Structure 1
Amino acid sequence: MFAPSDLDVLVPTKDRPGALGVTLAGLAAQTVAGFRVVLSDQSDAPVADDPLVAAQLRILCHRDRPVTVHRHLPPRGMAEQRAFLLDRAERRLVLYIDDDVWLEPEAIEVLLSAMSDLRCGFIGYALHGLSYRDDVRPAELAPYEEWTDGVRPERVRRESPAWRRHTLHNASNPLHLAREHLGTPGPGEWRAYKVAWIGGCVLYDRERLLECGGFDFWRSVPPRHAGEDVAAQLRVMERYGGAGLLPSRAYHLELPTTVTDRSAECYDYVFEPAWAP
């Protein structure tokens, strides 16, 4: 059984002190303590100087969730930012959470329990976009398929039918999937399902992530890129498997993306290097 002391929570951040404060408040309110939080800050002004962020850092430490903040400049893209965080992780499990995500109080407790049972390469929560909570999209929910006999390795590529699963995580689809397949879940209840990838809140077995290369491809992609989490997860999934969890206990704050130039997709450089310009 994995414990909070087995977990490093890795948070990349840049110029979002308000959103980061919400994210840290969610971590401070978790039902379990003893995990460690590591921030990589690429903000123009040190984010730890923001009064609300500073308050949350104090609260985390007071509640036995120690925090380390690294100023990491200049920015070289999200893949390098995630690689930097991974290099500073020390524990068996790493949870990457974006700086615009709020977690329900039992989110980490459930992740640890699920990983203890599934023992795969990664699991995660797709993010709710609650402004879309009344927007039901049956066609996008159709690729849903549960893992019923353990999580197995899968090779997922753009040309494979499994790629169509990416629609499961659009808008507020995770909410509608949970309502359809779980009804009203009980405390701590979870169900594993098959994914193409997960964005924003992903728990990895650190050794397995490193064995599959982590985010080492950052050196071969342009500094302005997107999809670094997709490339890393596809490599881990092919060797160790990956799964999403319902119900999702992670919520997107729905701020504008900080990755505005998406002309270079990491997938093209990792899996189709001959194609990449």
Structure 2
Amino acid sequence: MAQPWPDGRDVGPAGASNGAFGGAALDVDVLVPTKDRPAALAVTLTGLAAQTAPGFRVIVSDQSATPVADEPIVAAAIRILRHHGHPVQVHRHVPPRGMAEQRAFLLSKAERSAVLFLDDDVWLDVHGVAVLAHALATLRCGFVGFAVQGLSYRDDVRPHELAPYEEWRGRVRPERVRRGGPAWARHLLHNAANPLHLAHRHRRRGRAWWPYKVAWIGACVLYDRRRLVECGGFDFWPAVPPRHAGEDVVAQLRLMERYGGAGLLPSRAYHLELPTTIRDRDAECYDYVIADEAP
């Protein structure tokens, strides 16, 4: 894979030189699915416009009742992104056929070596894209990501949910994670503001980021595109009901088994804490795809 971060130097406010943010455009496509949340999407897009990383492309798949690009607040955010040197594409993709199909459509539009799936209710710290790209190029695994944190839970410390935390030491290795196994409990690490509390508890002074083991990561994940496609991406969507949840879990479990994956601390992704647009979660993609695969 071509390195998405061009010069390999450290990035972020801890120990980074300002020169780490210049140079060639990132070989990254940012893929944003959206449906009926123009204000939240505008916040997400303006967060991308403020990134220190240069030249990544943004692709939006819109399933809103009213075309989201017609909303003045979204149109303004798109203009700002383009003004800052980031190409933007907005595709009308209707009717909705579930999030797995929506993500498969976005992936089919991507061309760059790394793809960042970013939900439309996430605000990224200004160094977020640069750190993700540098980490993926350094770790050479299938994916890296920031677990989103809800700051309304800032004072809600949950020691019992932080217990499964384990850092990657050295190379990120492939691992098989399945429901019921000990690694499955890692999903608790990403509840509420747990990523914030983990970063405080395990902080590494002078380091812009460090990797840890995950079950999966939602809402803000950078993938090696070639490897994601090789592992099937989201092409399992016809096998699941249109109303489903957990499509990213399936893709990441498959990718992690072959190439490994890691979460990054400190998380630089913040949840806007809006109500979910996926209210019916009775159909978990895991039950239709992973559970039917050979052990």
Q: Does 1:81 align with 2:119?
A: no
Residue 273 of structure 1, CA deviation: 3.3
Structure 1: any 5+ residue segments left out of the alignment? none
Q: Does 1:195 align with 2:244?
A: no
Q: Is residue 153 of structure 1 aligned with residue 155 of structure 2? A: no
Distance 2:292 2:53 in 1: 43
- Shift of the alpha carbon at 1:159? 1.7
Amino acid at match of 1:2: P
TM (norm. structure 2) is: 0.91
- Report how far residue 163 of structure 1 moved: 0.1
Are positions 1:209 and 2:261 aligned together? no
Letter of the structure 1 residue corresponding to residue 250 of structure 2:
A
CA drift of 1:5 comes to 3.0
SS in 1 for 2:244: coil
Q: 2:277 aligns with which of 258, 261, 266?
A: 258
1:155 counterpart letter in structure 2: R
How far off its partner does 1:113 sit? 1.0
Q: 2:116 aligns with which of 78, 95, 105?
A: 95
Which residue in 2 is equivalent to 1:63? 84
- Measured against aligned partners, the alpha-carbon deviations of 1:73-126 in whole angstroms (never above 9, x if no partner) come to 000000000000000000000000000000000001111111111000000000
CA distance in 1, matches of 2:182, 2:128: 30
Q: Does 1:222 align with 2:241?
A: yes
Task: Write the mapping of 1:1-277 to structure 2, written as runs, cut at 5 A.
Answer: 1-3=3-5, 4-182=25-203, 186=206, 189-273=208-292
- Measured after TM superposition, the shift of residue 225 of structure 1 is 0.3
Q: How many residues align?
A: 272
Cα shift at 1:150: 1.2
CA–CA separation in structure 2 for the residues paired with 1:230 and 1:271:
10
Alignment partners' CA distance in 2, 1:178 and 1:100? 22
Amino acid at match of 1:219: P
Q: 1:198 and 1:272 mapped to 2: Cα distance?
A: 19
Q: Any runs of at least 4 consecutive aligned residues in structure 1 with deviations exceeding 3 A, and if so which?
A: none
Deviation per CA, 1:28-56, whole angstroms, max 9, x where unpaired?
A: 00001210000000000000011010001
How far did residue 130 of structure 1 move?
Answer: 0.4
Distance 1:271 1:112 in 2: 28
Offset at residue 2 of structure 1 (A) = 2.4
Give the partner amino acid of 2:149: H
CA shift for structure 1 position 199 = 0.4
Which residue identity does 1:172 align to in structure 2?
A
Tell me which amino acid in the other structure corresponds to 1:244: G
Please give the alpha-carbon distance, in whole angstroms, between the structure 2 residues aligned to 1:168 and 1:219. Answer: 31
> Matched residues in 1 for 2:78 and 2:290: separation?
39
Per-residue displacement from partner, 1:10-29 (whole Å, max 9, x unpaired)?
Answer: 00000000000000010000
In 2, Cα distance between the equivalents of 1:93 and 1:264?
A: 29
Identity across matched positions, percent: 71
- Alignment partners' CA distance in 2, 1:16 and 1:58: 18
